[in-house]
Amino acid sequence: MNAPAAVSAQAWCTFRLAGGVYGVELSRVQEVLRPLPVTRFPLSPPAIAGLINLRGRIVPVVNTHVVLGGGPAPVRSTGFVVVRSAQGPVALLVDAIGDVRHADAALPPSLAPGPATGRDPGGSLIAATLALPGELLVVLDLDRVLARAFILEEHRS
């Protein structure tokens, strides 16, 4: 499949993090939440900010600052993006909730796989990039982001 076809069939839930614009596949998003109390738990690794109570279900919160290599960030988010994983819902801690972006056929498709680096043995956390007017949308590979968060957890324990 060529890149224009891949772009035109995509939609992303976007959010801001450390000054950048990021997105995850809209089909993987369960819901977007305003700030909720995050409960830390003893000896939790930096990639896990804590837990939230989502209508009676305990959901782990991933500190996206840590996973993306930005270091620990205070739990000062303006919201969460709750995504579906194979193990159940997981909340991504973000600086600000964005909007839904659809691929625009009028925009030149610039989706490209993110580069693999030596610091990223599981592959790049970036699935693609998309040039939007005035900004660059970095689409995250959600499975790799979650795997990285929980690998960081295992190495710390």
- Which domains are seen in the chain, by residue range? 31-101+109-156 (2.40.50.180)
Residue 104's pLDDT is 67
Residue 157's pLDDT is 44
Residue 126's pLDDT is 92
Residue 30's pLDDT is 95
pTM above 0.75, yes or no: yes
Which residues, given as ranges, of the chain have pLDDT below 70?
A: 1-9, 71-77, 104-123, 152-157
Closest-CA residue to 19 (of 64, 51, 52): 64
Residue 42's pLDDT is 84
Report the percentage of the chain scoring pLDDT > 90: 41
Residue 46's pLDDT is 78
Helix H or strand E segment including 88: strand 88-94
Structure tokens at 76: 């000062």
CA distance 64 to 10: 22
Q: Alpha helices of the chain — where are they, by DSSP H?
A: 3-8, 64-67, 142-156
Residue 7's pLDDT is 46
For the chain, give percent helix, strand, coil, nearest 5: 20, 45, 40
